[in-house]
């Protein structure tokens, strides 16, 4: 991995669409903390967002004078010679009776590289200021630990969507993470005397533009995403009427209500945390637009889109589909490419003789969790670990299952043969984390082989 400053910053910021005035609705949850109208006339959320960007205190392009220095630091901390070797040897390597196949697309996406670079530049550009971040920068423990080591304060969560912004004082610097921040947080910070460094990935901003276009067309946004995920929390804050569906089962519940109606109270009870305030399923499912969390499983988003399109067609007739349904694919390329690459590994799994597939990435990382689902659903033994030390010298592995449980189980099962594994990593995982995990496996295999032979292992 070599991060180029030019590449990182030659990224087009998501296009800005025209907007039409509309009244601002107050929302529940965090909105109660932050007024959207205080000190200025009411405005649309998109108008408000564009207003934030115009402020001299709102920084979206980084700080040139420290860029080269930051680029060197990032490469030093996160790149891996082992992963570079794997890439240059056609994504396969053999060492100490272990054969490793690396997925063709894996690891840091440009949105994450950009976000880390902007955060590091902020630290260097404001050496004497207190810095805060409104959430984890990305879902990766090593990267977040590094920011903590650089004295960036992670603003404490107080529960029920509230955070302790009391610690932010005049003159401080506040970093917004790669998933973005909610409208209410941006509005609140805009009114304070602080510098804001916005590292939101442009793909996420694209989703916000999509839900904004739903509002202009008078559509309810159906968001394929997890309502509690930081990115979806931010996206819903830019919506007026919305409902979140996390998977096909929930999409089918919504489609069924659209087509046939149902028990309104039961429906609202089930989706109580996943809908906008005052959501009325009898009125608000007549005209809908689909958007998604950028890191969802692409095949599922597509299937959900087809389900709603079919439901609308059956209810209103084919000629009325455009009037009642709008879809815009907002799965980011990085997510799709990593899913395609692990699918290819799975398809070749028998030919390669894979014992298992290892997925490396933060346990809270949605895109990493989806990478696990692909081999899991094909019946291939697979593990999602967040750090190398999930692999223990006692030949156990601690991993996150597709159901989200953290479990520990025996790891290398057949000690009489060479080990063959596939490996991939999420979009927020540094190559160095993959190297650490593989090194742990090489060492463990060596230990197991030595124990079998009755000799002691020498560490490299």
- Based on the shown chain and the rule CB under 6 A, indicate whether residue 82 belongs to the binding site for ligand SF4: no
- Based on the shown chain and the rule CB under 6 A, indicate whether residue 204 belongs to the binding site for ligand SF4: yes
Q: Which stretch, 107-115, 163-171, 311-319, 394-402, contacts ligand SF4 (CB under 6 A)?
A: 107-115
Residues 20 and 319: their CA atoms lie apart, in Å, by: 27
Q: Which residues in the 369-408 window bind ligand SF4 by CB under 6 A? A: none
Alpha carbon distances (Å) from 417 to 8, 100, 220, 286, 362: 44, 14, 56, 59, 31
Among 182, 205, 213, 294, binds ligand SF4 (CB under 6 A): 294
Q: Which stretch, 106-114, 216-224, 302-310, 401-409, contacts ligand SF4 (CB under 6 A)?
A: 106-114
Among 335, 339, 368, 429, binds ligand SF4 (CB under 6 A): 335
Q: Given the complex with ligand SF4, which of 29 and 202 has the nearer CB atom?
A: 202
Q: How many residues does the chain have?
A: 460
Among 19, 120, 203, 356, binds ligand SF4 (CB under 6 A): 203
- Based on the shown chain and the rule CB under 6 A, indicate whether residue 295 belongs to the binding site for ligand SF4: yes
Q: Are 161 and 108 in contact (CB under 8 A)?
A: no
Q: Rounded to 5 degrees, what are φ and ψ at 207?
A: -65, -40
- Would you list the DSSP string of 231-269? HHHHHHHT-SSEEEE-SHHHHHHHHHHHHH---HHHHHH
- Based on the shown chain and the rule CB under 6 A, indicate whether residue 292 belongs to the binding site for ligand SF4: no
Among 62, 111, 225, 375, binds ligand SF4 (CB under 6 A): 111
- Total residues at interface with ligand SF4 (CB under 6 A): 15
CB 109, min distance to ligand SF4, A: 3
Sheet strand arrangement including 131-133: 58-59, 195-198, 173-176, 131-133, 152-154
265 given a catalytic annotation = no
CB 112, min distance to ligand SF4, A: 5
By beta-carbon distance, which residue lies closest to ligand SF4? 111
Q: x/- site string to ligand SF4, residues 407 to 446, per CB under 6 A?
A: --------------------x-------------------
CB 394, min distance to ligand SF4, A: 35
Helix, strand counts (H, E) of the chain: 18, 18
Q: Given the complex with ligand SF4, which of 143 and 334 has the nearer CB atom?
A: 334
Q: Alpha helices, DSSP H only, in 325-429? A: 333-347, 349-352, 366-377
- Based on the shown chain and the rule CB under 6 A, indicate whether residue 140 belongs to the binding site for ligand SF4: no
**Of 113, 136, 230, 231, which is the active-site residue?**
231
Residues 70 and 359: their CA atoms lie apart, in Å, by: 28
Residues 403, 404, 410: CA angle, nearest 5 degrees: 90
Residues 28, 169, 235: CA angle, nearest 5 degrees: 30
CA dihedral 263, 269, 275, 281 (to 10 degrees): 10
Q: x/- site string to ligand SF4, residues 171 to 200, per CB under 6 A?
A: -------x----------------------
Q: Which residues in the 4-33 window bind ligand SF4 by CB under 6 A? A: none
Tokens of 97: 């009776």
Q: Which residues bind ligand SF4 (CB under 6 A)?
A: 109-112, 178, 201, 203-204, 294-295, 332, 334-335, 367, 427
Q: Which residues are catalytic?
A: 231
């Amino acid at each position: 991995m070599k991060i180029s400053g030019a590449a990182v910053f030659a990224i087009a910021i998501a296009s800005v669409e025209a907007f039409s005035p509309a009244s601002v609705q107050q929302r529940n949850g965090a909105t109660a903390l932050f007024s959207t109208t205080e000190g200025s006339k009411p405005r649309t959320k998109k108008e408000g967002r564009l207003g934030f960007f115009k402020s001299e205190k709102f920084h979206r392009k980084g700080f040139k004078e420290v860029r080269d220095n930051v680029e060197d630091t990032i490469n030093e901390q996160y790149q891996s010679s082992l992963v570079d070797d794997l890439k240059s040897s056609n994504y396969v390597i053999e060492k100490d009776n272990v054969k490793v196949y690396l997925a063709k697309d894996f690891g840091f996406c440009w949105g994450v590289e950009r976000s880390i670079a902007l955060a590091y530049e902020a630290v260097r550009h404001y050496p004497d200021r207190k810095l805060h971040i409104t959430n984890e920068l990305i879902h990766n423990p090593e990267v977040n630990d590094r920011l903590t080591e650089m004295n960036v304060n992670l603003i404490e969560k107080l529960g029920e969507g509230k955070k302790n912004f009391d610690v932010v004082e005049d003159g401080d610097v506040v970093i917004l993470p790669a998933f973005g921040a909610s409208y209410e947080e941006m509005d609140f910070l805009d009114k304070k005397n602080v510098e804001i460094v916005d590292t939101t990935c442009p793909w996420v901003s694209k989703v916000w533009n999509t839900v904004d276009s739903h509002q202009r067309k008078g559509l309810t946004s159906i968001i394929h995403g997890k309502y509690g995920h930081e990115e979806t929390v931010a996206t819903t804050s830019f919506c007026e009427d919305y409902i979140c569906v996390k998977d096909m089962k929930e999409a089918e519940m919504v489609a069924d209500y659209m087509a046939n109606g149902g028990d309104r109270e039961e429906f609202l009870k089930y989706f109580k945390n996943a809908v906008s305030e005052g959501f009325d399923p009898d009125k608000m499912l007549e005209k809908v637009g689909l958007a998604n969390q950028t890191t969802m499983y692409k095949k599922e988003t597509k299937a959900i889109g087809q389900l709603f399109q079919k439901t609308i067609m059956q209810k209103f007739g084919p000629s009325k589909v455009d009037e009642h349904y709008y879809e815009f694919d907002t799965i980011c390329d990085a997510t799709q490419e990593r899913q395609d690459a692990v699918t290819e590994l799975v398809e070749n799994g028998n030919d390669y003789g894979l014992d298992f597939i290892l997925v490396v990435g933060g346990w809270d990382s949605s895109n990493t969790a989806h990478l696990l689902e692909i081999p899991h659903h094909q019946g291939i033994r697979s593990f999602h670990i967040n750090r190398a030390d999930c692999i223990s010298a006692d030949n156990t592995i601690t991993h996150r299952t597709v159901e989200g449980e953290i479990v520990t189980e025996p790891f290398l099962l057949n000690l009489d043969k060479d080990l063959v594994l596939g490996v991939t990593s999420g979009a927020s995982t540094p190559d160095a984390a993959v190297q650490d995990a593989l090194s742990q496996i090489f060492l463990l295999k060596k230990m197991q082989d030595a124990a079998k032979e009755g000799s002691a292992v020498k560490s490299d």
